[in-house]
Structure 1
């Protein structure tokens, strides 16, 4: 089995991105310019994030906001013991969700910005604090009074989406 590694990736705009094997990653990516996701588009985006849960990533928390996504996950290892790489994980989520959102809205072109912001949680950082930050995001933005009322929030602890009238997940 390969040993744990600290990898650096660079994307199109040359922002550095780091991944530490077996450490949680907190990732944020935004929609293009002024694009605001409809409720239906947010449902699709969350479904695409959750599609790989347990396969390539272990999601600890996810929230789909009108103009950005927060994901906290740990990349899993493939059959050969290699950790799935951050660029491939994000390409799969962003690509598949873009196609579905464009089909839903009748538009073309990119939905998500090329770049993302990511942060490797280190030993002194609390997974619980980062999950709470993600949970509180809809409250801070004034979208709901309690995190539980936001339909596009998912946490590992509850292993389900939050919010009343939550749309069903794709299998």
Structure 2
């Protein structure tokens, strides 16, 4: 996003976030890098108190669907997530004895205005691994929240959905 553009944040809106590996290199193609990113996302979710509605980690980019953080701003939460995941995957990015950055400096942030757009973004990025030919079925891609929605499986990040809300209500009763 050009530096002269301002980010618009409206309380209560969800955010569709995309950020890309430096020079679109496939730094996230190893299971180790993906595991570290998912762990960093969960730590950021807890630290900044935002809800994760969905995510997918692709070899050279990440998509997130999150709420506005209760602590700090989306920008601060994303910066922290990118730094944390960069530090933990630095050794995997060494090339010719030099480390390259993990992420491009900027990221894309779109405010989600309604339920239809929310569902469209979630479907879009859950289908991304299939569209790219990485797997035949979305549930086969381990680095995504799709299995949470389709099979109610743990994906390493607490996903805010109808099922997690129901579990909280049952636990509080």
**TM-score bracket, shorter-length normalisation:** 0.7 to 0.9
Tell me the distance in 2 between the aligned counterparts of 1:113 and 1:14: 18
Tell whether the 8 Å contact from 2:34 to 2:57 is kept in structure 1 after alignment. yes
Find the aligned partners of 1:55 and 1:159 in 2 and give their Cα distance: 23
User: Deviation per CA, 1:23-66, whole angstroms, max 9, x where unpaired?
Assistant: 11000000111421231212212221122335421000011101
Shift of 1:22: 1.3
Unaligned ranges ≥5, structure 2: 158-173
Query: Which structure 1 segments of 5+ residues have no match?
Result: 1-10, 79-83, 162-168
CA RMSD of aligned residues (A): 2.3
Structure 2 length normalisation: TM-score?
0.74
What are the residue-to-residue correspondences of 1:75-154 with 2, within 5 Å?
A: 75-78=68-71, 84-106=72-94, 108-123=99-114, 125-154=116-145
1:29 aligns with 2:14: no
When you count strand as a share of all residues, which structure comes out higher? 1
Q: Deviations over 1:46-97 (max 9, x none)?
A: 221122335421000011101100000002324xxxxx30110111100000
Larger helix percent: 2
Tell me, yes or no, if the aligned pair for 2:69 and 2:77 is still in contact at 8 Å: no
Count of aligned residue pairs for this structure pair: 148
CA distance in 2: counterparts of 1:31 and 1:159, whole angstroms: 27
